[in-house]
Structure 1
């Protein structure tokens, strides 16, 4: 039995789905994928199974705001790239029926400078402003569960940016940020380090004035598995035996042998679920070598028999020719004798 097995393995599909994300999905975290069998049908010599591979993921986008402002400026320092990526993601999400949004979280932030009360109002206003933007452009609140939150003074991001920077008096700045003073006392301590504070105003505080949006969604991918249907193994053909024709008494013996001509080797591939693949493959190779050896021996035997028959026929023809020549010579001698007698 000749078997062909072709499959798009579900395990491979899970890896492919986990590793594939659109270019616009900047930060994606996914849990383990779930596989749901959708259908199973026969297609000629194949069984075709379709499954849905689902995983949870999220996409993050961040836009910056100017100091003391809560109105989005699309042209401000990288905002256009973020908004274009968001637009590409939303466009693809709307076209893909296998994407289902669970929730959208919009968080407004303010930098840790200035009065805390003002920063609280700025953070909330920035979150509402960006929610209005996505509602106006995409209708998010009508379609999804959109939540807003705010962080008045983001000291955590401030510390991260300071730690990664090459600013002057960095260690002293980190000690102030990690201290237990009030936000106002921390700001006052930082301002007493003019070089460090000037660096923070230019490079650390502006990126903190932002809105971050995370879209939590379930994403699915269709996977198809095709399995060849195994057919019953046919019975082996009988091995032909030589046939010998009886020889007439006065003629040389002629023998005929049926010659088997092999036009290919049929290989049986075992069921992938069976644990006998190695033994089956060894048996096939052994049988193939035996068939080749038997074919060679049969060919050699036929060649020897043909040579023997040809030799016998040649000797018989030579013998007959010798007898005919002798008889002709005898007849010629008798003819000359008769001619001499008639002449007398």
Structure 2
């Protein structure tokens, strides 16, 4: 039996991992050059930084055990400093740090997907964007965005963000009402756009918190995290901030020149932390996440409407919560059902 997984993010990696001891032959199609999707890691000027998802929340016993007992634990780290909060007025204070553990890796959060895939025999085809699915009733045929055939499969698992999954379904061909039903359910899932700005400084910051969260969702800055508190990420004597801007600000500035956007974001962070030095970073980086976080989930029953025909979906958006552990859970859950597919 042959399975195609579209997307090498946390959910796709978890699904491949769960199926590693079954008779399924797994092929993963990934549009980028790396794994783990929005749980992304970069390296620059001696720094390692996670510019999408910042850590894996301890919100699932199953995922906790996977990270701390099943997969290799070398380089696994727990961020001990708490998350504080602020509001529209910019006033910072201790928050309710509900994340008992904040798991990460010295080599970056992408290690999660890398370690999951390393346990499998799955073939990963990078820089391959799936543009269309065709189904003749029993076999699913995949094509890239240029129309080139990618292979025939008994089942398909779609894991991209809901808007991209909806676009793929809209371009697909299957003479069955379930295709439209599934598309409409996926297309209804709302997503937030977030612009991430990375700010490096050649001095150390002294704060009692690891990150700040805007609980009012009205400030221009939505989240600021200190990457230097992750072991092995930032050289001694430096600071590196991950600033994730609010959805409204991100949408407004998304297509503006990146240098202008980064400079304006640095000034907003400096104002928030009341530290003028932060307006002049040593170096910067950026990433626009057009489909960053789901604001809701799709109807669970409808999202499974095509599974009898071998078409599955997974991802944090199917759970309605933009968390890495949710993505992993949905991948594991989908793989359990795929394992029983006949």
Q: Which bin holds the TM-score, normalised by the shorter protein?
A: under 0.3
Structure with higher Rg: it is 1
Higher helix share: 1
Higher strand share: 2
Per the normalisation by structure 1, the TM-score is 0.22
